[in-house]
Amino acid sequence: MSSDQSTGSETAPMDNLSHESRSFAPDPAFARDAVAQQSLYAEAGEDRLAFWAAQARELLTWETDFTETLDWSNPPFARWFGDGRLNAAYNALDRHVEAGNGERVAIHFEGEPGDTRTYTYAQLTEEVKKAANAFTALGVTAGDRVAVYLPMIPEAVITMLACARIGAAHSVVFGGFSADALRSRIDDAEAKLVVTADGTWRRGKPSALKTAVDAALADGKSTVENVVVVKRNGEPVEWTEGRDQWWADTVETASAEHTAEAFEAEQPLYILYTSGTTGRPKGILHTTGGYLTQAAFTHRNVFDLRPETDVYWCTADIGWVTGHSYVVYGPLVNGATQVIYEGTPDTPHQGRWWELVQKYGVTILYTAPTAIRTMMKWGEDIPGQYDLSSLRVLGSVGEPINPEAWMWYRRVIGGERCPVVDTWWQTETGAIMISPLPGVTAAKPGSAQVPLPGITADVVDETGASVGDGGAGYLVVREPWPSMLRTIWGDPDRFVDTYWSRFEGMYFAGDGARKDDDGDVWLLGRVDDVMNVSGHRLSTAEIESSLVGHPAVAEAAVVGAADETTGQAVIAFVILRGSAADEDHDAMSETLRQHVGKDIGAIAKPRKVLIVPELPKTRSGKIMRRLLKDVAEGREVGDATTLADSTVMNQIAADFAK
C-alpha cells in the first residue's frame, strides 16, 4: 500500500488540502466483472424514463405490466408505473421460491444473547403467509395501517411483508421511542393493529416494549383494535383481554396457504415518521412499484450484489428508513442472503460485529459513520482480532463521513481492498440517490461522488441556478424519481411547502452541498447546520472533520452561535481520545483551535472548544446540535426528550457556564 493512499496510522494529522486530490480509481479486477456498468449513465442520460421502465421490468415481477412510466401532470404529486399491478411480498418471497431458490438462506438471525435462527426463502415465505392470514382474520384489509413496534428480530421483517402482502401500509416506530411518540404516530396514521413484543435485549439486560404500547393505548380512545405480541424476552406483561393476542396463538397457528393479490403500483406500502428540526413528525408516504424498483436497483448496483454468493449485512434498525429499504425491501426483492443482529455492537464485548462478520462470512457491510467513529475510538486492535477477509464492499449512510473515518473504514475493516460507497439519501427519497458505483466510478474519502443513473440531483445557489464545479449551495433534485415520497400522510400542503416551495419545480433536500473541481458532490450537512461567519460560509461538518482529524480527538460537534460582530461564531464540543483526556483542558482547547485554523483557515477557528465527556445523541446516533446551540447561545436547553441519555446536557451546560 503506498503511503499516499493511506493515512498510515490513526494518529497521523489530517491533511485537509489533499482530500480532493486523494481519489481511489476502481480496482481493475473488481471493475472487470462489476455488476454496475458505466453504460448505465449513458442509458439513463439518453432517456431517463425508458431507463427506469426497463429497470422496473427487469428487477420486479408484475402481474399486470404498466403502459405509463410516469404521470407528472399534477406536480409534485407523482405516479410511477400507474396502471401496473404487483404484490411487494410476492416480489420479495414467493417468486424466489418459484424460481427454485427456496432453500437459499434469506435471514441469518443473531439475537443479542447469542440465540440464532435461520430462515430460507421457503420458510420466510411460509411465515409471511401465516401472518397475512392472521392479520386478515383480525380484520386488517387493504388500505389499513398497521403500527409496528418491534426489536430487530425476524418477526419484524415478517410483519412488514405480511402487511405488504395484504395491501395494508405498515408504520414502523423505532423501539427506542417513548410511549408518547408511539401514540402520536398511531393516532396520525389511525392504525388498526399494533404488532409488538414483550421486550428485547439491550446490553445484556431485558428491556420492555409492550409497556409502552399499553401506555400509548391506555385511554382506550385510539383506533387500535388489536395488539399482537411476540414473545421475545419472557418479561411479564400486562394483558388486555379481547385486545391483546400472542403471536404464537394467532400467527403461528394460522394457515400457511395464501395467494398474494396484486395491487396497483401506487398502493401505499408504508408510512415512516421522520422528525424535522421543528414541529411534529412528518409521516413520509411511500408506495409500491416505484419504491421497489429503486430500492432493488440501488441495492444491486451500489453494493455489487451477487445473490447466489454474497452475505450482506446492513446494521440499521428497521425503525429507520435504511432498515426498510436495505434490510427488508432491497435485499429480499433481490433474493439476497443477509444477517440481522438484534443487539448493540459492544455486547457482550466490543468485537461483536467483527465476530459476526467472521462467523457468517459477511461480504457486504452497510453502516453509519457514527458507528465507524465509535469503533475507531475503541481501537483497531479489536477488529484486528477477527478474520474480515470475506468483506468485499463497504457502505456508509446517514451523515457526512469525515475522511479520517472513511480511510479507517477502508484500511482497518476493508483491508485496503474493498471499495467504500458513501451513500446519500433520505427517508423522503426512499432509496440511495448519490453514491459511487463500485467498479465504475472513483471514490474520494468524504465525497458521496455522483448522482446515480436516472437521478438528476444538483447543487444550486439561492436563485435555483446550478453552481459550477468548485461552487457550493443547496442540494436539490430536478426531476421526479421512482422511490420519491408521494406526500406527507394526511398533509399534502405540508408536503408541497416543505420540499417543493424553496426552489421552483425542484425538490429541496434541506442539505447543503458543494461540487469539487471534478464536479463530485460533497455533502455539507443540513442547511441549518451551515454557519455564516463574517460572510463566509462554513460547514459544521467540515470543522468537525478537521477536529476529529486531530489525533487527540475522538468525536466533535460544532454549532454556529449568534455573534454580534461576526454574525455567527463557531463553537465546538469535543470528546478526547483515550489518554488525551488527562491532559490540561485549557491547553488542549487552544491547540485544537489552532489546529482548525491551520487546517481550514483562520475564519474557521472555533471561538471556544469545550471538552466534554459525552455528546447529546438521539437513539439513532445523530448528534442534536440544536441543544448544543442552546448552550452556546446561553439559552435554557430545549426539548431533550429524544436523547438516548437525557442527563448528558446537564453536564455540558454546567461545564460551558464555568
Q: Are 607 and 632 a contacting pair, CB within 8 Å?
A: no
Contact partners, residue 640, CB within 8 Å, separation at least 6: 616, 624, 627, 646, 649
Q: Give least dist CB 485 to ligand WTA, A.
A: 10
Identify which of residues 284 and 648 has a Cβ nearer to ligand WTA in the complex: 284
Distances (CA, A) of 554 to 11, 372, 576, 627: 11, 11, 5, 20
Sheet holding 244-246, edge to edge: 244-246, 226-230, 193-197, 145-149, 169-172, 268-274, 282-287, 487-488
Closest CA to 111 of 273, 312, 339, 444: 339
Residue 29 region by backbone torsions, left for phi larger than 0, else alpha for psi between -120 and 50, else beta: alpha
Identify which of residues 88 and 434 has a Cβ nearer to ligand WTA in the complex: 434
Element (H, E) at 294: helix 289-302
Identify which of residues 375 and 401 has a Cβ nearer to ligand WTA in the complex: 401
Q: Are 100 and 108 a contacting pair, CB within 8 Å?
A: no
- Per DSSP, helices labelled H in 414-535 are 492-500
SS (H, E, C) 2-30: CHHHCCCCCCCCCCHHHCCCCCECCCHHH
Q: Give least dist CB 11 to ligand WTA, A.
A: 25
Q: Are 254 and 217 a contacting pair, CB within 8 Å?
A: no
Q: Please count the residues of the chain.
A: 658
Q: What is the DSSP string of 218-260?
A: TTS-SS--EEEEE-SS-------TTTEEEHHHHTTTS-S--PP
CA–CA gap between residue 61 and residue 133 (Å, rounded): 23
Closest CA to 256 of 178, 162, 139, 359: 162
Q: Give least dist CB 208 to ligand WTA, A.
A: 26
Identify which of residues 158 and 623 has a Cβ nearer to ligand WTA in the complex: 623
Q: Give least dist CB 79 to ligand WTA, A.
A: 23
Identify which of residues 342 and 428 has a Cβ nearer to ligand WTA in the complex: 428
Identify which of residues 128 and 523 has a Cβ nearer to ligand WTA in the complex: 523
Q: Give least dist CB 649 to ligand WTA, A.
A: 22
Q: Give least dist CB 245 to ligand WTA, A.
A: 32
Q: Give least dist CB 61 to ligand WTA, A.
A: 27
Contacts with ligand WTA by CB under 6 A lie at: 274, 320-322, 397-400, 422-427, 448, 509-511, 523, 526
Q: Give least dist CB 136 to ligand WTA, A.
A: 32
Identify which of residues 193 and 557 has a Cβ nearer to ligand WTA in the complex: 557
Identify which of residues 281 and 551 has a Cβ nearer to ligand WTA in the complex: 281
Q: Give least dist CB 639 to ligand WTA, A.
A: 19
Q: Give least dist CB 63 to ligand WTA, A.
A: 30
Identify which of residues 84 and 510 has a Cβ nearer to ligand WTA in the complex: 510
Grid coordinates belonging to 116: 440464532
Identify which of residues 109 and 174 has a Cβ nearer to ligand WTA in the complex: 174
CA–CA gap between residue 171 and residue 323 (Å, rounded): 13
Grid coordinates belonging to 383: 477488529
Q: Give least dist CB 533 to ligand WTA, A.
A: 21
Identify which of residues 397 and 557 has a Cβ nearer to ligand WTA in the complex: 397
